[in-house]
Amino acid sequence: MPESSRPLQKLGFLTIGLFDPADPAVGHESTLQIIELGERLGFDSAWLRHRHLQFGISSPIAMMAAASQRTSRIELGTAVTPLGWENPLRLAEDLATVDLLAKGRINPGLSVGEPMHYDTVKHELYPDSSELEDFSYGRLNRFARLIAGEKVRDFSGKQGVVEEFSNRVEPHSAGLRDRLWYGAASRNSAVWAGANGFNLLSSSVVFPEADQQPDFARIQQSQIRAFREAAETSAPAYGSARVSQGLVVIPTDSASPGQRQKYQRYVDERTPRTRAPQGPKGMLFAPDLIGTSDEIAEQLYAHAGFQEVDEVAFALPFSFDQEDYIQILTDIAGKLGPALGWTPAEVRRDPR
């Protein structure tokens, strides 16, 4: 087993929170239980994928609010919220509220761009302004200004006996602006994130530049380095920029024979898409990592993207069962994390 000269500092996980449309409450409850388990196992963060008009979590903010009342330490994030579906001012109000309830544990991850399958939903999402909506970085910069507490309007003060109005988004949660993340998959978006004071969420998808060879790990490494350079030169006011990597890892240390077979079938079905660029933009997918924790750790140490980070949010596979997620998270916290030099949160807080 190789040794890391840069021990992993923060260990998180990402889940989509699937549910049965005939009984969706069960799936939402199971996701909350997984987050509670993550805190007990010492994970530093739990992240929720954001899905609209699918059988996954459509309201991660509501889920984070619920999770904040069932946990006390673990950080909670979105990876990612597509801002094209959101009103930036209303989203800022909701996130600030939940961040206060969570005592400063919320990490909003965001992305820009036209909503997926926009033509099928724009008549309901923006019936009067679908052709006018701005889905560019400008929408995200406006959101960031609102989160930071910048002035929304000139009007403020008392009106009548009781009503009092503010000229900024209320409530204001100090520190939330520094915990905004951007989900970037291209060099340009990584540079934009760094230059505009966002942290970087780097996942299992990248878009290469025209002159780059289709090597996922090297492309991810170059994007992370470009992000850091932009952050250091353009946005020093936001402090030390953070980078998190989010690959799919499936440790099998304590898995049953049936689980190992199930996991391998899942990986085998997804592997062909990783062998060549996909679509007109040449999108590259990272292979899922499956095996014992020692085997996965060895692959990660050799991964050029992983070599650039000191925190991760490993993605849980889609469509597995609750007992599978429990086994995977337990192995990540108990075996894979320590193999990567990570120490559980409780041990760091009380090394005795």
Q: What is the pLDDT of residue 352?
A: 55
- Section 184-210 average pLDDT: 96
- Section 29-37 average pLDDT: 98
**CB crowding 117-127: b at 16 or more within 10 Å, else e:** ebeeebeeebe
* Higher per-residue confidence, 4 vs 86: 86
Taking the C-alpha atoms of residue 121 and residue 154, their distance in angstroms, rounded to an integer, is: 35
- Axis-axis angle for helices 322-331, 257-270 (nearest 10): 90
Taking the C-alpha atoms of residue 315 and residue 324, their distance in angstroms, rounded to an integer, is: 13
- Structural fold of domain 10-349: TIM Barrel (3.20.20)
Q: What does the pLDDT look like over 278-303, one tens digit per residue? A: 999 999 999 999 999 999 999 999 99
- Section 102-115 average pLDDT: 98
Q: What does the pLDDT look like over 339-349, one tens digit per residue? A: 999 999 777 66
In the predicted structure, residue 3 carries a pLDDT above the cut 70 = no
- Section 126-136 average pLDDT: 98
Q: What is the pLDDT of residue 345?
A: 74
Tokens read off for 116: 């997926």
Q: What is the pLDDT of residue 195?
A: 95
Taking the C-alpha atoms of residue 339 and residue 40, their distance in angstroms, rounded to an integer, is: 19
Q: What does the pLDDT look like over 58-78, one tens digit per residue? A: 999 999 999 999 999 999 999
Could you tell me how far CA 8 lies from the centroid of its own chain? 17
| Beta-sheet pairing, 181-183 with 199-202 | parallel
pTM, two decimals, is 0.96
Percent of the chain scoring above 70 in pLDDT: 95
Q: What is the pLDDT of residue 1?
A: 45
The CA–CA distances, whole Å, from 337 to 66, 111, 263, 287, 334 equal 27, 28, 20, 19, 7
Domain range annotation of the chain: 10-349
In the predicted structure, residue 2 carries a pLDDT above the cut 60 = no
Q: What is the pLDDT of residue 351?
A: 57
Residue 110: other Cβ atoms inside 10 A: 26
Specify the DSSP element, H or E, that contains 146: helix 137-148
In the 8-state DSSP scheme, what is residue 306? G
Tokens read off for 164: 């009092």
DSSP codes joined into one string, 199-238: EEEE-SEE---TTS-S-HHHHHHHHHHHHHHHHHHH-GGG
Q: What does the pLDDT look like over 136-195, one tens digit per residue? A: 999 999 999 999 999 999 999 999 888 999 999 999 999 999 999 999 999 999 999 999
